[in-house]
Amino acid sequence: MEPLKLAIDEGGVATITIARPPANALSRRVLEQLDQILTQVEKDDHVRVILLHGEGRFFAAGADIKEFLQVKDGSEFAELAKQGQRLFDRMEAFSKPIIAAIHGAALGGGLELAMACHIRLATEDTKLGLPELQLGLIPGFAGSQRLPRLVGRAKALEMMLTSEPITGSEAKTLGLINSLHSEQTLIDDAKALAKKIAAKSRITTAMVLELVQYACDDKFVEGSEREAELFGKAFDSADGKEGIQAFLEKRKPNFNDQ
């Protein structure tokens, strides 16, 4: 059976479920299939938001360590890292919002996967960390780059150098997690958030995702210039005119992504 499941609802929310019990470890096949699914949902105009979560006890407890034993040498190991980095870079730059609903554990590659998503929800007792040094390794899917951007240099170094995970509660305080939820309501809450975002114009949603990436890449001037350009395009769009008219008429807008 394939390790990932895909379900698309009527509201345009595509739910991707990692189903590799017991740990939902990120194998090469998981990365390959996730890349294929992203291509599918990117081309599907009905899909407006992607929700990613894990089946069973964990979101994703790390990379598939057993596959490491099949790697011949360091150069092949580096290629595996590049495969994950390309995929997670694609996710970060994706034109449709990706929400991660995290429970149980997001460790190593699992946390790197979650950090590549645009929004992260979690339970209070979720364990999040990059424990690779405990194995005599280092993060390989750009975790050493994304974690400092999200929690700051000092805390990122502490987490990596000690290999000790933090809880969802601490992650929320640090800004690594957007919001906390009970395990019973996590998926429903994530879907409700996805539907709220899906109700917006897909044109302007994609614009915001693009612009925030400039900020994350520390390109303020370029980002500001692009913002002004897209601001004009949003105003000229049919959705922009519909949104303004709906506001004046005190009704909900009916966006058609045009």
List the catalytic residues: 112, 132
Peptide bond into 97 cis (omega under 30): no
In Å, how far from its chain's centre is CA 28?
18
SS3 track for 173-239? HHCCCCEEECCCCHHHHHHHHHHHHHCCCHHHHHHHHHHHHHHHCCCHHHHHHHHHHHHHHHHHCHH
Residue 122: what residue type?
A: A
Element holding 88 (H helix, E strand): helix 74-92
Whole-Å CA distances, 183 to 46, 56, 155 = 29, 11, 26
DSSP, collapsed to helix, strand or coil, labels residue 245 as: helix
The upper half-sphere exposure of residue 153, i.e. CA atoms within 13 Å in the direction of its Cβ, equals 0
